[in-house]
Chain A
Amino acid sequence: MGLVARAIEAAGIPTVTLNMIWPVQRLIGMPRVAAIEHPFGRPYGDVGDVETQSNVLRAALEVATSATEPGGVVHLPFVWPEDPKETQWHPAEPSPIIAMIKKSRSS
């Protein structure tokens, strides 16, 4: 994602990148980051939650105006309503790389 943001920006189009794992900014260097504390798979908000989807979209668009220098991270104020323990985001079965790592650690 960050690589795509960099390429778009390098072509002359400003970008804003929403990000849950915003510390990857140190690794990739994205022009404008809007950090969001939402679960994987639903960055803009829950199914049918028009209000949150609109508010996150609006907040991300505002970063396009407020950011003045490359590499900044704006922390958006949204708080997911569920406890992480109750928030289902994992796939039905572990991804191939996770399965491989777990297998190698257990053997």
Chain B
Amino acid sequence: MSSSTSDSPQRLVDPWRFAGNFLRNVLSSQIPNEPNHEPIPWAPLRKPVSQSKVALVSTAGLSMKGDAPFDMELERKRPTRGDPSWRALRADATSETIEANHLHIDTGYILRDLNVALPLDRLREFAGAGEIGSVADTHYSIMGYQGNDSSELATVSAPQIAASMKNEEVDLALLAPV
């Protein structure tokens, strides 16, 4: 089934449409009513998207088959912690060549069509059509649930992902949670 599009320019996304009351209560209790974060970093777009090398990032706990999968036993033993590591994914990754480990979603959709969370096929089509410049050689996954301690993700994994993108001269990164 295809999503339709609303033609109301004022329509705001309902963040809780699919959450259900329980998850809504748990999550909304952690979100402040006013912005409460460090100053936001900003890197201007240096070239048009049509000339940019693009890399994708997913929080779906994706790993290439043959690489170490994300560690779900850690979280089963200590539910307030999630695996803070990251994985590199090849640009030709597909549902057949990846694993998805994430205890908070039904990963079955990703295992049938990776593009629902990491649209590498679509990105390749965009490069072929000139909508983007090129597809980066490497894409990335973390496992989105970090429980009450995201310090290792922030201080180790995130800077390593950023350094890898710099090394591959990525111009634009597109991230999507699951």
Contacts and interface: CB of A to CB of B under 8 A. Distances in A.
B145 A95 contact: yes
Interface in B14-63: 14-20, 22-23, 26-28, 30-46, 48-49, 52, 54, 57, 59-60
Contacts, number: 294
A65 B13 contact: no
Contacts of A101: 26
Contacts of B103: 91, 95-96
A7 B123 CA distance: 23
Interface residues of A, number: 85
- Of B35, B49, B173, most buried by chain A (CB within 10 Å of CB) is B173
Contacts of A100: 79-80
Contacts of B43: 9-15, 31
Given A5-B175, A70-B42, A27 B31 contact: yes
Interface residues of B, number: 96
Contacts of B1: 46, 49, 81-82
Nearest to A72: B40
29 contacts: A4-B157, A4-B175, A5-B57, A6-B40, A7-B154, A7-B162, A8-B57, A10-B162, A13-B165, A13-B171, A14-B46, A15-B172, A16-B175, A17-B177, A27-B31, A27-B32, A27-B37, A40-B104, A44-B115, A46-B2, A64-B45, A64-B172, A65-B49, A70-B41, A70-B42, A79-B5, A96-B75, A96-B103, A98-B104
